[in-house]
Structure 1
Amino acid sequence: MPIALPDLTGRTAVVTGASDGVGLEIARGLAGAGADVVVPVRNRAKGEQAIARIREGRPDARLTLRDLDLARLDSAGALADALRSERMPVDILVLNAGIVLLGDRQRHVTEDGFELHFQTNFLGHFALTTALLPLLRERRARVVVQCSIAAAVSRLDWRDLQGERRYRPLWAYGASKAALGLFACELARRSAAGAWGVSVQLSQPGIVPGTAIAPALRARIGAGVQNAVARLVRNPPADAALPALVAATAAATPGADLFGPSGSFHRRSAVTRRRPYRSVSDPVDGERVWTTAELLLAERIRPA
């Protein structure tokens, strides 16, 4: 289901999580439209393979590999510092990277002391984006936040934000994506109120069986069930990337909209633009999640 993107020659995009899956296809689409694409990855070998795959179809694609591990705040800070020191012209920032640990009942904690879903999907992206705000404002950039249908039915437990009292992997994933969506809508509100010029859009890829997410669950259900689901859903990564690509290039609006597949059960279908889920659009919760993230980051980097 190809789409025609505008000419992005002379513009620079940063896409997190572009070493495989949907993120790789987002990077491929932006590079194919002429953008210079920065690919920050946790695994350099996978990043190099991703760049090689993109250049198979687009030998002249301009792609740059960078290091980024969202489960480490020092890594997010180092990338932001490097891009700021180089005065990198960031026109498009796609917050796509994420983890889904369904089927794994163990609560994982990062070296920074945060629950792994919470930091990788939300807090690391918050730290990176807010550190890049000077560059984003300078270029009046577009920020695309890859949300999830899980965010539509998830709520944050403010008394147990990271599942310390009771951990459930599905809840942890949904809560991290809800927090990310709240951050996106709050970023849009703050940009409009402060005349920052940064436009924000949300996207959600639908259900994408053809990726490596949720390895514990995949191992449990087996290849036969996975293949059956893939045949039923029919939403390969190349199609699942389309909402983010449309969100990255659509006309700017004062607030954040949500781009996603229009079909039943979020299967492969035309991309539609709609209002964000209620769970992520509440301004009180948006301000609270922003303030909470700032406090958590301040506590983490406070000198002993």
Structure 2
Amino acid sequence: MPITLPDLRGRTAVVTGASDGVGVEIARGLAGAGAEVVLPVRNRTKGERALARIRETHPDARLTLRDLDLARLDSVAALADTLRAEHGAIDLLVLNAGIVLLGDPERHVTEDGFELHFQTNFLGHFALTTALLPLLQERASRVVVQLSLAAGISRLDWDDLQTARRYRALRAYGASKVALGLFGGELARRSTTGGWGLTVQSSHPGVAPDTAIAPAMRARAKGGTQHSLARFVGNSPARAAEPALLAAVAPASPGAPEFFGPSGFLHLGGAAARQRPYRRLTDPAAQARIWHLAEQLLAARVRPA
């Protein structure tokens, strides 16, 4: 059965990547529970369509579009400035946006000088979250870090953090999600030791065959079992949103993030439930290291070799 959210009236939530797919369903769930939901989007046309879709089921939803391109640090800074000016506090921040350029063999570098997956999926979210810390601390807010199954099977190469030497889109994507998960763990630790009052939870949606990424995944499948899994196993976008929604509202105390995902076969689909965190994301040394490196990269703005 679908999860039931508590009354979120009076709460403000910010959901990145909510213009389509799983993200719009996360925003729909929060808005349906009464939260005011801010949708920072890269494409305003898609954002307007998302608002219309949410209002089909929740006509009185309190929704606001704002601009955000995580591949541009000036856009991240501008959104943080806007949110600080418009909101006295943020109760919930869902770091959901992400890209994976399957089928594209070219390594793309942003105008800021970072590999595109690395900046969009991790570094842009790091910059946004740290810029919003005053608003998050005001309400002892919750941060939900949306990972993926790739984070459980991928690794960071600390000597090739941005896949400059060995680039493949799926490798770059997985590494960026590992970095994001490590960041979530370090954010939780710093909140606890620094008395920030934040709680941090992580989640993954499993597989959602009806989202934009699915056709590219199916195109890469070679037939047999892999093709069947890519085509048929998983959840609808609405159900794939439930782990993040559960992470947003489940009782929690400060400390290491809990992890939520689908409970079915290989965690590809099924009902949302607590799960064991991916071991590589729980290493305190790696968590501290990725935070420190992110701070260095943002400070230096040096184009990687």
TM range (shorter): over 0.9
Q: Give how far 1:267 is off.
A: 2.9
Q: Which amino acid aligns with 1:13?
A: A
Q: Is the 8 A contact 1:185 1:286 kept in 2?
A: yes
Q: Is the 8 A contact 1:22 1:240 kept in 2?
A: yes
Q: Is the 8 A contact 1:246 1:259 kept in 2?
A: yes
Query: Which 4+ stretches in 1 moved above 4 angstroms?
Result: 214-222, 225-231
**Normalized against structure 2, the TM-score is what?**
0.93
Q: 1:84 to 1:109 in 2, by over 3 A?
A: same
Deviates most, 128-137 or 161-170: 161-170
SS in 2 for 1:208: coil
Give per-residue Cα distances to partners, 1:72-110, cap 9 Å, x unaligned: 000011000111123342100000000011222110111
Are positions 1:279 and 2:280 aligned together?
yes
Q: In the aligned structure 2, how far is the partner of 1:87 from the partner of 1:147?
A: 27
Q: Is the 8 A contact 1:25 1:237 kept in 2?
A: yes
Alignment-derived partner of residue 295 in structure 2: 294
Alignment-derived partner of residue 257 in structure 1: 258
Q: Give how far 1:231 is off.
A: 5.6
Alignment-derived partner of residue 96 in structure 1: 96
Q: In the aligned structure 2, how far is the partner of 1:216 from the partner of 1:156?
A: 24
Q: In the aligned structure 2, how far is the partner of 1:79 from the partner of 1:124?
A: 11
Q: Give how far 1:220 is off.
A: 6.3
Give per-residue Cα distances to partners, 1:180-233, cap 9 Å, x unaligned: 0000011001101111001000000001221112765556669xx999656621
Q: In the aligned structure 2, how far is the partner of 1:55 from the partner of 1:227?
A: 35
> Where does 1:65-84 land on structure 2 (aligned, <5 Å)?
65-84=65-84
Q: Which amino acid aligns with 2:20?
A: D
Q: In the aligned structure 2, how far is the partner of 1:285 from the partner of 1:143?
A: 20
Q: Which amino acid aligns with 1:76?
A: V
Q: Which amino acid aligns with 1:206?
A: G
Q: In the aligned structure 2, how far is the partner of 1:227 from the partner of 1:18?
A: 28
Q: In the aligned structure 1, how far is the partner of 2:208 from the partner of 2:35?
A: 25
SS in 1 for 2:144: strand
In structure 1, the gaps of 5 or more residues are none
Q: Is the 8 A contact 1:101 1:214 kept in 2?
A: no
**Normalized against structure 1, the TM-score is what?**
0.94
Deviates most, 265-274 or 32-41: 265-274
Are positions 1:4 and 2:4 aligned together?
yes
Alignment-derived partner of residue 168 in structure 1: 168
Q: Which amino acid aligns with 1:298?
A: A
Give per-residue Cα distances to partners, 1:230-270, cap 9 Å, x unaligned: 66214110000000000000112222010011111223212
Are positions 1:267 and 2:274 aligned together?
no
Q: In the aligned structure 1, how far is the partner of 2:136 from the partner of 2:48?
A: 26
Alignment-derived partner of residue 148 in structure 2: 148
SS in 2 for 1:76: helix
SS in 2 for 1:64: strand
Q: Is the 8 A contact 1:29 1:245 kept in 2?
A: yes
Q: Which amino acid aligns with 1:276?
A: P
Q: Which amino acid aligns with 1:144?
A: V
Q: In the aligned structure 1, how far is the partner of 2:276 from the partner of 2:134?
A: 28
SS in 2 for 1:49: helix
Q: Is the 8 A contact 2:221 2:230 kept in 1?
A: no
Give per-residue Cα distances to partners, 1:148-178, cap 9 Å, x unaligned: 1111121111111111111111111110000
Deviates most, 197-206 or 160-169: 160-169
Q: Is the 8 A contact 2:199 2:257 kept in 1?
A: yes
Q: Is the 8 A contact 2:218 2:231 kept in 1?
A: no
SS in 1 for 2:301: helix
Q: Give how far 1:276 is off.
A: 1.7
Q: Which amino acid aligns with 1:99?
A: I
SS in 2 for 1:211: coil
Alignment-derived partner of residue 23 in structure 1: 23
Percent sequence identity is 71
In structure 2, the gaps of 5 or more residues are none
Number of equivalent positions: 300
Over the residues paired in the alignment, what is the CA RMSD in angstroms? 2.1
Q: Is the 8 A contact 2:34 2:61 kept in 1?
A: yes
Alignment-derived partner of residue 63 in structure 1: 63
> Where does 1:88-237 land on structure 2 (aligned, <5 Å)?
88-213=88-213, 229=229, 232-237=232-237
Q: Give how far 1:275 is off.
A: 3.4
